[in-house]
Chains A and B, each alone.
Chain A
Amino acid sequence: MSTPVNVDVKLGINKFNVDEHHPHIIVKSQPDMQVMALLTKACPAGLYKQQEDGSVRFDYAGCLECGTCRILGLGTALEKWEYPRGTFGIEYRYG
């Protein structure tokens, strides 16, 4: 009865102001793959996507700035995690 969720469709409804030139989260060049696998499950926005070749692709656009990946992966999988610059990022219209 479980249908695979499409988070991108949900994110498409939200209001974002993406800071195109300044990623606020950067994945390490050699991330811990176990942690990356955990992030594919944990990220509420589904921004860590398992690829067919086993690698994990990440895109910071669509980030809800919750900090889950920072808590689980800063230092092991992530090189940098900061809040987007002022005015950028998610803008909740309801919250």
Chain B
Amino acid sequence: MSEDVFDAIIVGAGLAGSVAALVLAREGAQVLLIERGNSAGAKNMTGGRMYAHSLERIIPGFAEHAPVERLITHEKLSFLTETRAMTVDYHNGDAPKSGEVSYSVLRSKFDAWLMEQAENAGAQCITGIRVDKLVLKDGKVAGVEADGDVLEAKAVILADGVNSLLAEQLGMTKPVAAENVAVGVKELIELPKELLQNRFNLQGKEGTAWLFAGAPTDGLMGGGFLYTNDTTLSLGLVCGLHHLKEAKKSVPQMLEDFKKHPLVAPLIAGGKMIEYGAHVVPEAGLRMQTELVRDGVLIAGDAAGMCMNLGFTIRGMDLAISSGEAAAKTLLGAMQRDDFSKQSLSEYLTLLEDGPLRDMKMYQKMPAFLDNPRMFTQYPEMAIGIASELFTINGKPPVPLRKNILKHAKKVGFINLIKDGIKGVTAL
């Protein structure tokens, strides 16, 4: 082999890609990380909140140096109809425990920082270059081609995002199916820091994560989100692609109407939009995963469907980081064995079983459970209906609570409630 053969070429400097580059470079591997954006993060968008545990393992105390926005201490979950809302509110005032915390982040800043860590560890990083295809030798992946140049490597990690055109070229994944993904849209809204903190009842670096079900997506599968950043709010929604046929309004219109909801409008009042973004989100978990390993190639991050949506928690970034780490560890082992065959690289799957795949398997029934129109129409209406009668005094004879609940439960149908209840219990 020639001198110019890298131990690993990694496509995509998102979280999975940069972590893989960092872990490999620390052990002295010759690594090339290639990113199509002008800088790492330039093409990336999150809701978003990152659970810290997986990066904490790789870079202990990272949040002291990394550009994180706020430490999430306030969790809210709201059910919305067009004009009403019912909210569950949880506040954690304990001293934060490293490994259990989560942060709101903005990817353009965060990803650039993470790539810098890989670079400092010795990885070669190039931005502004799009990998056009993979180079095969004797049926094995042996490098990449970009702008007509061929770059060789013993193995390639594809961390090129949810629309992994490269994995598709190899035939490792099928074209993304609409029922496996959702589209997310987001506005970044700037507010004076003090106003933001007062409005959300936050002290210092504290932050809020807020999810909304029901009206934001016009009753379709999906939901709204709001995350507080340092001096901005990330406000947006996510809607399942296979339900858009039934949508009565466009996705951008859903976001516009969500902003006008009486619960939301005062939260963003006086704010200035400074960016508008969109991204496709993998939603189907294990259902959408196919091959993650072949001779000379591994797939990580969103490209590998590393995402879990349980309705109340949404994970993607922490799983991407774990998968990047697992891919790097696998390649380090393969370098020692000097064997980059599919069999040798299959250690990747074993490593994933101890992390992302373990969690995804446990909740594998969840995507199907949530893909149920009742979740996004009748249940929010039921919760709000019950609350509305509970809190309304109009001089008429009061209705006993049990009758109130039964009346609203009847609208959904007892059989449906039992069916969904059983499904929910088994999915969890």
Contact = CB atoms under 8 A, between A and B. Distances in A.
A92 B241 contact: no
Nearest to B35: A86
Chain A contact-residue range equals: 35 or more
B147 A86 contact: yes
Given A3-B260, A44-B185, A95 B130 contact: no
Contacts of A46: 250, 252
B282 to A, nearest CB: 11
B273 A95 contact: no
A82 interface: yes
From DSSP, what is the main secondary structure of chain A's interface residues?
loop
B36 interface: yes
A79 to B, nearest CB: 15
A44 B251 contact: yes
Contacts of B276: 7, 10-11, 13-14, 64
Interface residues of B, number: 54
Contacts of A38: 244-245
B275 A14 contact: yes
B260 A1 contact: yes
Contacts of B279: 64, 66
Contacts of B175: 71, 74
Interface stretch (B41-49, B55-63, B385-393): B41-49
Contact of A41 (B107, B250, B277): B250
Question: Considering residues A7, A67, A72, A92, which has the most beta carbons from chain B within 10 angstroms of its beta carbon?
Answer: A92
A95 B274 contact: no
A83 B165 CA distance: 9
Given A71-B175, A71-B178, A82 B251 contact: no
Interface in A46-95: 46, 64-68, 70-72, 74, 82-87, 89-95
Contact of A87 (B128, B178, B275): B128
A68 B241 CA distance: 8
Contact of A67 (B163, B177, B277): B163
Contacts of B185: 44
Contacts of B176: 67, 70-71
A70 B161 CA distance: 14
Question: Considering residues A83, A93, A94, which has the most beta carbons from chain B within 10 angstroms of its beta carbon?
Answer: A94
A26 interface: no
Question: Considering residues A45, A65, A67, which has the most beta carbons from chain B within 10 angstroms of its beta carbon?
Answer: A67
Interface in B238-253: 241, 244-245, 247, 249-253
Interface string A1-25: 1111101001101100100000000
A74 B232 CA distance: 36
A88 to B, nearest CB: 9
B142 interface: no
Contacts of A17: 38
Interface string B157-189: 000001101000000000111100101010110
Nearest to B247: A41
B335 interface: no
B108 A42 contact: no
Given A10-B273, A14-B275, A71-B181, A92 B187 contact: no
A74 B278 CA distance: 19
A59 to B, nearest CB: 15
A94 B251 contact: no
A42 B117 CA distance: 37
A13 B253 CA distance: 18
Contact of A2 (B38, B108, B253): B253
Contact of B36 (A72, A83, A95): A83
Contact of A65 (B43, B106, B257): B43
Interface of B: 36-38, 41-46, 106-111, 128-130, 146-147, 162-163, 165, 175-178, 181, 183, 185, 187-188, 232, 241, 244-245, 247, 249-253, 255-257, 260, 273-280
Q: Which 7 A-B pairs have the closest CB atoms?
A: A44-B278, A95-B107, A95-B108, A67-B163, A5-B256, A10-B276, A87-B128
